[in-house]
Amino acid sequence: MVNPNVQEDGENQRIISPFAQTTSTVQPKRSRDGTSVALWIVSSLLVLIVLGIVAFFTFKYLNDPFRTLPTFPMDKYLADYRPLAGGKFKADLKVSNDLGWKPDVGHLMVFTVQDDSHALVVLIPPTLSGIFFTKGQNYQISLEVREGGLVYADSCEKE
């Protein structure tokens, strides 16, 4: 019997692969170093951008002085201010009028609460005198109810 995979060389027989005479159709593996490095760089940049955005908003949220304060209860204040005395609140207010200013005391301002049509008189201390209030502007203000029911502003941010 003749075996086509065996080649006789005198006394030695060599075994030849049946695929020895064929050409390969499989492409050799190419190096992808350039694309993999670029992919890593782009992926890293995207991760850094996302982390930067998350850090920015987290930092902004944690530095918000108004986030822990309860909303100013206008109805309770109008009914009786005494239970609210000494309490600190936040309120979204709109400037209605300026009642006057004294250098040692501060501005006495009239605001309207955005959820209510009632007027609220707030004393803006001299420490916040750098803020220029214009009628119709909206502010987020940290308020404190003090003696006699007068409402004092502790901090103020324009919306």
Task: Quickly list H helices, the chain.
Answer: 33-62, 74-79
Model pLDDT for residues 67-113, shown as the tens digit of each residue: 788 888 888 988 998 898 888 999 889 999 888 888 888 889 999 98
Please give the model's pTM, rounded to 2 decimal places: 0.60
Contacts for 143 with CB less than 8 Å, ≥ 6 apart: 72, 88, 89, 90, 91, 122, 151, 152, 153, 154
Distance (Å, rounded) from C-alpha 134 to C-alpha 59? Answer: 30
Q: Regarding the domain with residue range 74-158, which homologous superfamily does it belong to in the CATH classification?
A: Nucleic acid-binding proteins (2.40.50.140)
pLDDT above 70 coverage of the chain, percent: 87
pLDDT at residue 9 above 70?
Answer: no
Q: Is the pLDDT of residue 2 over 60?
A: no
If we measure between CA atoms, which residue out of 71, 153, 36, 69 comes closest to residue 106?
Answer: 153
Average model confidence (pLDDT) for the chain? 83
pLDDT digits (tens, 9 = 90+) for 117-144: 788 999 999 888 778 888 889 999 999 9
47: pLDDT strictly greater than 90: yes
1 vs 26, more confident: 26
pLDDT score recorded for residue 33: 64
